[in-house]
């Protein structure tokens, strides 16, 4: 049974180029959900804003020498979300399992970061999870909620059990999260300060070494990993973030033939004049172009 009927269609296709589902290698899906957001809600508007941005930036990647119009991309529309967090995550898991089962890669546009919990449950067997994020999101509870944008990574580690979690760009945490991280044993983090002051090549080499034993990876990208100077319209901005170029250098270094799913989350469009949505669209363009160059067509 296919669960792709859980989508509402869109008249604005990501990038403006729509391939048939059967021929597409990449399936874009929006998840307009931010029910647990606590500081600056509005990520539910991000899928529409990022699609609009994708229509108004150039499609050629100088990094990969690939044009997005050459790729097989199908925009499935937006998930029918529920006010119930658990039900929305269940629907997303079913849909992503369908897409992965068709030997395609889901490209998920959030929405708040909690959606990664649902998408990760669609992956059967061992995998590594790489998270670009200012926050660890390892609290046990936040605002009395066990499943929310500040706890989802802990729930993933406890329920989904990826073999390793690598968090990149971290610069916001509480003592509880650091204690959990120390006891968990399978979570590695690289603070943004280390990246800003150090050598990008050595950081990338370290990440690649950590992932070397795993045949499948899921990459999740919270836009607050970027410094607010580059991405001001996010739900929980934090100073001392990465530049876009730094982020792409590391991100494209870890996205390879092992990628099974990718998500980009936490854009809150109404907090700027469109810059953050443009950054998100550009990042997706670069990831897809890079994968195409590697032969994932």
Below-70 pLDDT ranges, the chain: 1-3
Distances (CA, A) of 220 to 17, 200, 264: 24, 19, 6
Do 73 and 293 meet the contact criterion of CB atoms below 8 Å apart?
A: no
Number of separate domains in the chain: 1
Per-residue model confidence as pLDDT tens digits over 204-259: 999 999 999 999 999 999 999 999 999 999 999 999 999 999 999 999 999 999 99
Please report the pLDDT score of residue 6 as a whole number: 81
Tokens describing residue 166: 């690598």
Domain of residue 53: give its range: 4-293
Give CA–CA dist 113/261, Å, rounded.
14
Per-residue model confidence as pLDDT tens digits over 72-84: 899 999 999 999 9
Please report the pLDDT score of residue 2 as a whole number: 66
Please report the pLDDT score of residue 30 as a whole number: 97
Show the beta-strand stretches assigned E in the chain.
7-8, 26-31, 60-61, 66-67, 73-79, 105-110, 128-132, 164-170, 187-191, 217-222, 259-265
Give CA–CA dist 284/79, Å, rounded.
19
Per-residue model confidence as pLDDT tens digits over 268-282: 999 999 999 999 999
Give CA–CA dist 204/220, Å, rounded.
16
Tokens describing residue 204: 């990338």
Please report the pLDDT score of residue 163 as a whole number: 97
Please report the pLDDT score of residue 1 as a whole number: 54
Do 276 and 231 meet the contact criterion of CB atoms below 8 Å apart?
A: yes
Residue 43 maps to which CATH number?
3.40.800.10
State the pTM of this model.
0.96
Residues 164-192 as b or e (16 or more Cβ within 10 Å = b) = bbbbbbbbbbeeebeebbeeeeebebbbb
Geometric angle at alpha carbon 37, from 32 and 40, rounded to 5°: 95
Chain-centre distance of CA 126, in angstroms? 19
């Amino acid at each position: 049974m296919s669960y792709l009927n859980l989508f509402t269609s869109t008249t604005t296709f990501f990038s403006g180029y729509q391939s048939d589902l059967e021929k597409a290698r990449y399936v874009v899906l929006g998840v307009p959900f931010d029910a647990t957001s606590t500081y600056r809600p509005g990520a539910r508007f991000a899928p529409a804003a990022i699609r609009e941005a994708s229509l108004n930036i150039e499609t050629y990647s100088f990094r990969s020498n690939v044009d997005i119009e050459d790729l097989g991309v199908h925009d499935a529309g937006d998930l029918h979300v529920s006010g119930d967090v658990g039900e929305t995550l269940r629907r997303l898991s079913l849909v992503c399992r369908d897409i992965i089962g068709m030997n395609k890669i889901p490209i998920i546009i959030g929405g708040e970061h909690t959606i990664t919990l649902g998408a990760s449950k669609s992956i059967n067997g061992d995998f590594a999870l790489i998270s670009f994020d200012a926050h660890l999101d390892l609290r046990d509870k936040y605002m009395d909620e066990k499943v929310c944008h500040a706890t989802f990574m802990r729930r993933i580690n406890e329920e989904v059990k990826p073999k390793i979690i690598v968090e990149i760009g971290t610069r916001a945490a509480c003592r509880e999260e650091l204690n959990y991280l120390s006891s968990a044993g399978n979570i590695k983090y690289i603070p943004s300060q280390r990246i800003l002051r150090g050598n990008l090549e050595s950081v990338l080499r370290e990440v690649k070494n950590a992932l070397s034993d795993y045949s499948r990876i899921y990459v999740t990208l919270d836009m607050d990993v970027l410094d607010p100077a580059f991405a001001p319209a996010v739900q929980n901005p934090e100073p001392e973030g990465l530049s876009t170029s730094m982020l792409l250098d590391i991100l494209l270094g870890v996205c390879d033939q092992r990628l099974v799913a990718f998500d980009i989350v936490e854009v809150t469009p109404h907090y700027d004049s469109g810059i953050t949505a443009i950054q998100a669209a550009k990042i997706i363009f670069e990831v897809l172009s890079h994968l195409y160059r590697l032969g994932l067509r």
